[in-house]
Amino acid sequence: MESEKKESRPRPFEVIEHTADVGIIGYGGDLKEVFENTAIGMFSLITELNAVSKDLEIQVEVEAEDVEGLMVAWLNELIYLFETKGVLFKEFDILELSEEGLRAVARGEELNPIKHEIKTEIKAATYHMLKVESEKERLKSRVIFDV
Amino acid sequence: MLVDGIIFSDESLFATDESSKALEQVANVATLPGIVKASFAMPDIHWGYGFPIGGVAAVREEDGFISPGGVGFDISCGVRLLKTSMIASEIEPDLKSLMHELSRNIPKGLGRKGKISLNQSELEEVLDKGIEWARKRGFASKDETNRIEESGRLAGADPGAVSKRAFDRGASQLGTLGSGNHFLEVQEVTEIFDSASAKAFGIFKGQLMVMIHSGSRGLGHQVCTDYVKVMDGVVKRMGLTLPDRQLASAPIASPEGRNYYGAMAAAANYAMVNRGLLAFWAKESFESTFSATAKEMGIELLYDVSHNLAKFEEHVVDGKQMKLCVHRKGATRAFGPSLLPKDSPYKEIGQPVMIPGDMGRASYVLLGTEESEERAFSSTCHGAGRVMSRTQAKKSIGLDQLRKDLEERGVIVLAGQKSTLAEEAPGAYKDVDRVTLVCEGAGLSRRVAKLRPLGVIKG
């Protein structure tokens, strides 16, 4: 069911398979980069990011009880912003990050049905099989989404 | 494990589950505090998050735990079936224009807003009163109420327990189909298995039907997101260790447990109204296509039932009547006559259960029986059950092959999101014929009728 491809070349993220749903493994040299890449991975499931510009900027602040919970809270906040403000995000700058909170800037473009195709509707990021851990010299996340 | 795990299956269905993580999830659910009898899995079981999809777990009301993951993100995702007095083969020349009219009239897919916009107090009324609100606004008729589970209003709804964020997500999405596996299908009854029950339901061979599969949209998703986080905190505070963090739960009697139930019931009321609105617009589309009234075409609600819900019910366990909170995640309530309310039109025979299959093959109408009460708290399957991941389906089936396949089967498909249509291809699912046959064989429910898709509207 789950296939985590092992490759030597560092990639920002990978899509993992799950029978009903879908997941993302995000990579990064540090924790900020892992959070940024996992979010890019999630939006790549939603739409083709090449067709999205980054003219619009939104500030994001999230809190949680631990770093893995923070990852879920961060992604769920972005899903909430996408659904309520209609913004597709493609670039993220994590400005501050601790185990219990983060402050970031997310950039993207307002959804335009003529220009953007929505590939997948993501209902939520789940805690199922959730991981934020170090692997060799880099850090890695794993998140399963309900789609 | 506090109780056994019991999986209803047959050799060939089980062959695809055996190696899957779904079985581990059945075992995980058996650790839920207060669980009685068993952690059950229906024959359409597949790997979910926390609970398996197709899972049923009942906990004692007085000391059990309630788990948002045991309901799922799409709270009260369910099926509404409309019957007509029309013969499917007779409307074939108009099928294309009907499907286009439906597609135009039914808001679907992401980014599409609903056709009605409600302010905060009206939305609160939807969450509190459910289908009563729709009746007041002329979207539902009086005689429909007792053809909806819980008469279209789940008791205990507490709009105050629903966050502002959930309201934000739900405000513009009421009356939208959504995407993924949600659909509106025009179907033909192709086979009758139980003619007495079919007659009681008003179902006959060749009949034209309309099936709607949708849920509580962003509002329900956000309620689940909010409360999984809340209960994750409860688990931490209580110092519990869970086999899967997504199984986060809290005592039913705790403030967190009570608030979740209130918010979940509110989301369920939203979902029932959502399906009610979609049905109203479907009726409108029939009226404009055929220049006849819904009454003339015999369009009537058969039943509306959800397959993602936790509810307080009374069941007999080891010969003792018990008050339980029954979690059904990807499982459908299948009440036999004795459990149905007195005013139910199905009080004599049992409740209709609608099973959406896949868009190429078939869907089913089943019947809840007295026997199903003895099996898994009057629960049965909810669909065909996935066997292939979405990526796998896209890779191995592909859009072109799917198009050809559906064309050969004579099914018209109108989809908002074409790139992901292959994810829902028939081959990505278990065989619904087999799944429903197992349900019948195991005494979970009885087969009444089989329906074939003629036209499909996808998000």
**ipTM confidence score:** 0.92
Section B87-108 average pLDDT: 95
Q: Is A15 on the interface with B (CB under 8 A)?
A: yes
Q: Is B232 on the interface with A (CB under 8 A)?
A: yes
Under DSSP, the state recorded for B162 is S
| Separation between Cα atoms, residue B388 and residue B403, nearest integer Å | 18
Phi, psi of A26 (to 5 degrees): -105, 145
Choose the closest CB to B74 out of A120, A123, A128: A123
Token pair of B79 as six digits: 């099926």
What percentage of chain A carries pLDDT values higher than 90? 80
Q: Is B22 on the interface with A (CB under 8 A)?
A: yes
- What is the DSSP secondary-structure string of chain A? -------SS--SEEEEE-SSSEEEEEEESSHHHHHHHHHHHHHHHHB-GGG----EEEEEEEE-SSHHHHHHHHHHHHHHHHHHH-EEEEEEEEEEE-SSEEEEEEEEEE--TTT--B-----EE--TT-EEEEETTEEEEEEEEE-
| Separation between Cα atoms, residue B329 and residue B77, nearest integer Å | 9
Q: Which of residues 360-399 of B touch A (CB under 8 A)?
A: 386-392
Chain pair A-B, CB pairs under 8 angstroms = 115
| Separation between Cα atoms, residue B235 and residue B238, nearest integer Å | 5
* CA distances (Å), origin A74, targets A33, A34, A92, A129: 13, 12, 11, 17
Give bridge partners of residue B81 from the DSSP assignment: B211, B303
Does position B419 have pLDDT exceeding 80, yes or no?
A: no
pLDDT (tens digit per residue) in B372-406: 999 999 999 999 988 888 888 888 887 888 888 88
Is the pLDDT higher at B73 or at A114? B73
- Please answer yes or no on whether B228 and A127 come within 8 Å at the CB atom: yes
The pLDDT value given to residue B109: 63
The pLDDT value given to residue B219: 97
The pLDDT value given to residue A3: 45
- Consecutive H or E run containing B451: strand B446-458
Section A117-125 average pLDDT: 91
pLDDT (tens digit per residue) in B154-209: 999 999 999 999 999 999 899 999 888 899 999 999 999 999 999 999 999 999 99
Under DSSP, the state recorded for B388 is S
Side chain identity at A93, as an amino acid letter? D
| Among the listed residues B238, B224, B126, the one whose alpha carbon sits nearest the alpha carbon of residue B171 | B126
Token pair of A110 as six digits: 């307002």
- Please answer yes or no on whether B221 and A146 come within 8 Å at the CB atom: yes
Strand ranges inside B72-159, DSSP E? 78-87
How far is CA B397 from its chain centroid?
Answer: 26
Chain A residues inside the 8 Å CB shell of B108: none
The pLDDT value given to residue B117: 84
Under DSSP, the state recorded for B62 is T
Least confidently predicted of A21-25, A33-37, A106-110, B55-59: A21-25
Token pair of B18 as six digits: 């055996």
The pLDDT value given to residue B113: 65
pLDDT category, B417, cuts 50, 70, 90?
confident
What percentage of chain B carries pLDDT values higher than 90? 82
Does position A5 have pLDDT exceeding 70, yes or no?
A: no
- Please answer yes or no on whether B48 and A20 come within 8 Å at the CB atom: yes
Under DSSP, the state recorded for B386 is B
- Please answer yes or no on whether B22 and A19 come within 8 Å at the CB atom: yes
pLDDT (tens digit per residue) in B405-416: 888 888 999 987
Choose the closest CB to A73 out of B50, B109, B229: B229
Give bridge partners of residue B148 from the DSSP assignment: B304
Q: Are B59 and B75 in contact (CB under 8 A)?
A: no
Closest chain A residue to B244, measured at CA: A128
Query: A105 CA to chain B: closest CA distance, Å?
Result: 20
Give bridge partners of residue A17 from the DSSP assignment: A22
Q: Tell me whether residue B382 is one of the annotated catalytic residues.
A: yes
Under DSSP, the state recorded for B327 is E
pLDDT (tens digit per residue) in B307-338: 999 999 999 999 999 999 999 999 999 999 99
pTM: 0.95
Section B268-294 average pLDDT: 98
Does position A82 have pLDDT exceeding 50, yes or no?
A: yes
| Separation between Cα atoms, residue A105 and residue B354, nearest integer Å | 46
Token pair of B14 as six digits: 């089980």
| Separation between Cα atoms, residue B189 and residue B203, nearest integer Å | 8
What percentage of chain B carries pLDDT values higher than 70? 98
pLDDT (tens digit per residue) in B114-148: 788 899 999 999 999 999 999 999 999 999 999 99
Q: Which of B181, B221, B417, B458 has the highest number of chain A CBs within 10 A, making it the mutation to test binding with A?
A: B221
- Please answer yes or no on whether A119 and B110 come within 8 Å at the CB atom: no
pLDDT category, B229, cuts 50, 70, 90?
very high
Q: Is A44 on the interface with B (CB under 8 A)?
A: no
Output Rg (C-alpha) for chain A, integer angstroms: 14
| Separation between Cα atoms, residue B127 and residue B121, nearest integer Å | 10
